[in-house]
Amino acid sequence: MSATNGRLDGKIALITGSANGMGYAMTELFAEERATVIAVDINKHDLAKWDAVENVVPVLADITKLEDIDRMVGEAENRFGRLDILCNVAGINDLCYPLLETSDERWDKVLNLDLKAPFRICRRVLKGMVERESGVILNIGSYAACRGNHGPSYSAAKHGIIGLTLSIAVGYANKGIRCNAINPGGINTNIALHSGGEYHPSGMGMLSDIVGRCPIKLFGEPEDVARTALWLCCEESKHINGAVVPVDGGLSAC
């Protein structure tokens, strides 16, 4: 990726999940477009990639903990005076576990990271955005938000992300705040590794069977999501609010 014309010049952005995958690609591109990026992740080893990188401030945090959310947002606002952009990217999936094999523990783990954490971060960041009457929020949903071919906890969490996005878009439009979402399809990331295990055989078999019959290229790259995120967070999309944009090669059309 290479910088174009500094479309985020002077902006302060906070991106979760910055150490890998889509969050990493977004952090890289936003910094190239001259934003200052607060790069948040729980993985200390991988987060070190951003040490001494210009325009990137790595922050180690567990976004399932309210105190870490308060700390990371508070430190960013105190240091830079504001947050212009929030991108909720960090997440896991439920490894396609069917309902009858979904434990309370698995449900809570997925919902806490994929839905409750973005809700809490949005709530914390919105305080400052409302005061300034300016801001952009981008949430990462999933193709699974609109289909029933994943496990119930992941589908429910991502469906909830869409509801959260639309509610914020309507509720705070009069404060100069935009909120949109991206629904990625299959993206080449290591989400399974970070989700804590192997895919459920029958659940993954069902997913593979369904999407395998779609006449599209299944997997995209994290950069495909990053470029869409850049557009949704810059002034070029200033009239886009409450949108849910599929970045899936056409998978959701099948």
Q: Which domain holds residue 237?
A: 12-246
Q: Is residue 251 part of a domain?
A: no
pLDDT of residue 199: 79
pLDDT at 75 over 80: yes
124-159 confidence digits (pLDDT tens): 999 999 999 999 999 999 998 988 788 999 999 999
Q: Is residue 118 part of a domain?
A: yes
Q: Is residue 193 part of a domain?
A: yes
Cα of 151 vs its chain's centroid, Å: 19
- CB crowding 46-84: b at 16 or more within 10 Å, else e: ebebbeeeebbbbbebebbeeebbeebbeebbeeeeebb
154 belongs to the catalytic site: yes
C-beta of residue 161 within 8 angstroms of C-beta of residue 230: no
Which residues sit opposite 160 in a β-bridge?
none
pLDDT of residue 5: 79
23-62 confidence digits (pLDDT tens): 999 999 999 999 999 999 999 999 999 999 999 999 999 9
Q: Is residue 254 part of a domain?
A: no
The count of domains in the chain is 1
Confidence of residue 181 (pLDDT cuts 50, 70, 90): very high
Q: Phi and psi of 178, rounded to 5°?
A: -110, 145
pLDDT of residue 3: 47
pLDDT at 1 over 50: no
> pTM score, two decimals?
0.93
Q: Which of 24, 97, 143, 154 is the catalytic position? A: 154
Q: Is residue 119 part of a domain?
A: yes
Q: Is residue 238 part of a domain?
A: yes
**In CATH, what number is assigned to the domain containing residue 81?**
3.40.50.720
- CB crowding 134-152: b at 16 or more within 10 Å, else e: ebbbbbbbbbbbbbeebbb
Q: Is residue 194 part of a domain?
A: yes
Q: Is residue 172 part of a domain?
A: yes
